[in-house]
Chain A
């Protein structure tokens, strides 16, 4: 009996030793995503994508022979929870970097935590205030709202349209868009004739659109996430609105076309390039990344990858590059991130610098139009 136990112990010790010798400890990175709750349309694809990219990296041998371990938690889009979980990742799990959170609110809430602990954060949320002013440890991959506004205004200017009406949803996304629309109007010589809002749960926007129809506006810009813009599209068709309708990148998914039905035809919106990856010219820098992301996502989840998942793809790949160049310490990763240049990801071509932790230009967006239930590029 005693012999048996001794043998077992010996074997056990041997086994432990051998695993240690076999692989170095994995590099731990944290992920905070709003997988459930109101922002789950962001968090779920982001979590899926992050896990997928990490799996792919590990399958290919990891980073310099070391595996990555991704520890993700669900913030439910709740700022209090986000802060608790960020602390947990840093103190208990001892991660070297954090990806996420999905929403601007959650990101802003955990910024003081990561700044104090000195852990690099790559946020997947879009709010421009996350990296303006620049915070030492905070980066982000989602395109700023302002870039999408700039893309629309540029097109309007090209078509010599100077009078617009804006219709924004009264939540965080809409009010941030509204601020940007108003702030940039002067720069592009555009006059906002009417400035209306609607509630996120509103079911009829004919009143606002009727008012817009009666004005001299040459285009309508609607800023919101589903389902509001689909209702706006349907109402606009019902009222026979003749002027072009622009939407935000918040509805750049097939879901919008399904919800709006026939009414989606002719609507234009700025979108990340994921949507139209196959339509892009061959010399587009991002094309290779985009196609590989779409293919992997299809293989792993049997679904179409969207640009929300793309934010997480960019975050993990940026991190991978930074670890390769800067080592596995938080400070090393941060410094390497800041010197990342010409990284062609899903959201755009990133160029970080000490003064810019968002790293994108308005070329990250491409203007698309809905035609016959599909996207076409606007020239």
Chain B
């Protein structure tokens, strides 16, 4: 019984962490799908979400909800500016060059935040209290419910957007074949911009909802970004259910591994999974293999 309770606690804690990985993974996948590049500044968007919210609350005295909206909007603008200044001007750059640019951007953003905001870790107050809730022998915080709720909303929102709106469909078209999409009148450049905007918004939202639990500092984006990247790889870089499942599985495995095997290997477990998937199923856990027509 005790072991059962423990396992249910491991799984639930893991799923809560996994939901965050899933959100960050989604934001990776959104950019990858419309541009073919992996945006390593994604973790920085997550960090900016949390940091800007705290800044709005402390410096501008905004109420929580307004601060969150302002932070997400602010990060979105940063994502937009980033695409305009760093990605768009390089018309014919290879994806590799663009990926290196995103790494540079992440270092720049991190450095700026460190200088302007300081190196201290800060906490955001919980959205609705800190009283633990008991579920199936495990305990959760109300903030975990917020995380699950927001994750589900974002996933449903993405699904609706990409499958049921013209813009969403146009973005998917760009990911399949940019030239063909261009020929039928889709502005590929604008879709790339859109993808950065959406991805920055989703990433920063993830940063905001975890800030009360994990606290935030200028350098939290690095590890969260890497874990989100793992989730996206597990899901085969798709912007759908695959990535979400990837994130949840990753979170649960990490937590189970730390609890049942050894906490020293927690990160090793995540990266071992990443390597295994890249070796064995590079198309992701849930995707059928693609065949290129010759």
Contact = CB atoms under 8 A, between A and B. Distances in A.
B255 A227 contact: no
Given A201-B220, A230-B215, A208 B263 contact: yes
B141 A210 contact: no
Nearest to A210: B9
B139 A239 contact: yes
A240 B121 contact: no
Contact of B215 (A197, A237, A259, A262): A259
Interface string B253-266: 01110110011101
Pick from B123, B263, B266 the residue with the most CB of A within 10 Å. Answer: B263
Nearest to A202: B266
B130 A262 contact: yes
Q: What is the interface of chain B mostly: helix, strand, loop, or mixed? A: helix
Given A203-B214, A204-B214, A170 B119 contact: no
B119 A211 contact: no
Interface stretch (B13-21, B76-84, B164-172): B13-21
Nearest to A227: B121
Interface in B1-46: 2-3, 5-6, 9-10, 13-14, 16-17
B210 interface: yes
B217 interface: yes
B120 interface: yes
Contacts of A258: 123
Given A196-B263, A197-B264, A204-B213, A240 B2 contact: no
B108 interface: no
Report the contact-size class of chain A (Cβ under 8 Å from the partner): 20 to 34
A38 B101 CA distance: 24
Contacts, number: 97
Interface string A292-309: 000000000000000000
Interface residues of B, number: 40
Nearest to B259: A207
B223 interface: yes
Contacts of A201: 219-220, 222-223
A208 B6 CA distance: 10
Contacts of B122: 259
Nearest to B210: A203
A174 to B, nearest CB: 11
Q: Which 3 A-B pairs have the closest CB atoms?
A: A203-B214, A207-B259, A207-B258
Interface of A: 40-41, 170, 196-199, 201-204, 206-208, 210-211, 213-214, 226-227, 230-231, 234, 237-240, 255, 258-259, 261-263
Interface of B: 2-3, 5-6, 9-10, 13-14, 16-17, 119-123, 130, 132, 139-141, 210, 213-215, 217, 219-220, 222-224, 254-256, 258-259, 262-264, 266-267
Given A199-B266, A207-B266, A261-B123, 6 more contacts: A201-B222, A214-B3, A227-B217, A234-B130, A240-B139, A259-B122
